[in-house]
Amino acid sequence: MKTNTILEVQDLCKTYIVNKRQNNVLRNVSFSVHEGEMVAVMGPSGSGKSTLLYTVSGMDRMTAGKVQFCGKDMGSQNENALAQMRLDDMGFIFQQMYMMKNLSVLDNIILPAVKSRKQKESRKETVARARALMKKLGISEIADNDINEVSGGQLQRACICRSMINSPKMIFADEPTGALNRTASGEVMDELTKLNDEGTTVMLVTHDAKVAAKCTRVLFIVDGNIKGEYNIDKKLSVRDRERGLNNWLLEMGW
């Protein structure tokens, strides 16, 4: 394993048994994610995109294969160890913005830090870090609001703050812009891109080529197999990146 490889996936399989029938959702998937990359996973509905994200992050158990995260074998970890790894070293952003309804936006953001064994700091220091993240993402003014008092775009940016509070080695995002309008979607992706530019590794599932074009690499998955991958030159203009990716997606049968 290379020193800068955060995620190494080899021959990953995931099978569900539904009505005594085997449903092979992932079949011998292999790929790596290196430090500082921003990787998009694309593919038709039902191709296994979200299952891949959940399995490599330890939210779901693999059926066969090997997944290493920062050199640790995910398959050999017990549930408590996996939960601790997700809390301390991974950040998560979902399409549905799961937050505790009885907590303010700020308290939702600091919750993972309060639960983590990694953060050896006072609550005051945690709150100060959370407020700094909120300021960075332009949502300082909603700190004390209830989660039903803010817009979808603001809430998703709060979810990004929450995903960053424990300084994760990698962020996993499942359709992070899926529930947002085009403007809010663009703003959220701009924030994720900034975090990536600052060194945070990101893996996200998306069906939106505009979102994927902001990444450094795209994996295209069909019927549980990675059919191809596409590297994106971030030095190109946004238009050229989108055009190149769209042409490649058409070749892939998108």
Q: What is the CATH number of the domain that holds 38?
A: 3.40.50.300
Asked whether 39 and 218 are in contact (CB, 8 A), the reply is yes
* pLDDT confidence of residue 184: 86
* pLDDT confidence of residue 115: 86
Query: Among 147, 145, 134, which residue's Cα sits nearest to residue 100?
Result: 147
> Considering its fold, how many domains does the chain have in total?
1
Q: Which amino acid is at 116?
A: S
Cα–Cα–Cα angle for 234, 238, 241, rounded to 5 degrees: 65
* pLDDT confidence of residue 234: 85
* SS3 of the chain: CCCCEEEEEEEEEEEEEECCEEEEEEEEEEEEEECCCEEEEECCCCCCHHHHHHHHCCCCCCCEEEEEECCEEHHHCCHHHHHHHHHHHEEEEECCCCCCCCCEHHHHHHHHHHHCCCCCCCHHHHHHHHHHHHHHCCCHHHCCCEHHHCCHHHHHHHHHHHHHCCCCCEEEEECCCCCCCHHHHHHHHHHHHHHHHCCCEEEEECCCHHHHCCCCEEEEEECCEEEEEEECCCCCCHHHHHHHHHHHHHHCCC
> Consecutive 10-residue runs of the chain (254 residues): their mean pLDDT?
81 90 90 96 93 95 95 93 93 86 95 84 92 93 94 91 94 90 88 92 95 96 95 93 96 90
β-strand partners of 92: 172
d(CA 177, CA 151): 13
* pLDDT confidence of residue 18: 82
* pLDDT confidence of residue 23: 84
* pLDDT confidence of residue 230: 97
* pLDDT confidence of residue 118: 75
* pLDDT confidence of residue 177: 87
* pLDDT confidence of residue 17: 86
Residue ranges making up the domain that contains 54:
5-251
Asked whether 138 and 156 are in contact (CB, 8 A), the reply is no
* pLDDT confidence of residue 2: 44
Backbone angles phi, psi at 149, to 5 degrees: -105, 10
* pLDDT confidence of residue 95: 79
* pLDDT confidence of residue 19: 84
| Residue 147: C-alpha distances to residues 92, 98, 168 (Å) | 18, 10, 24
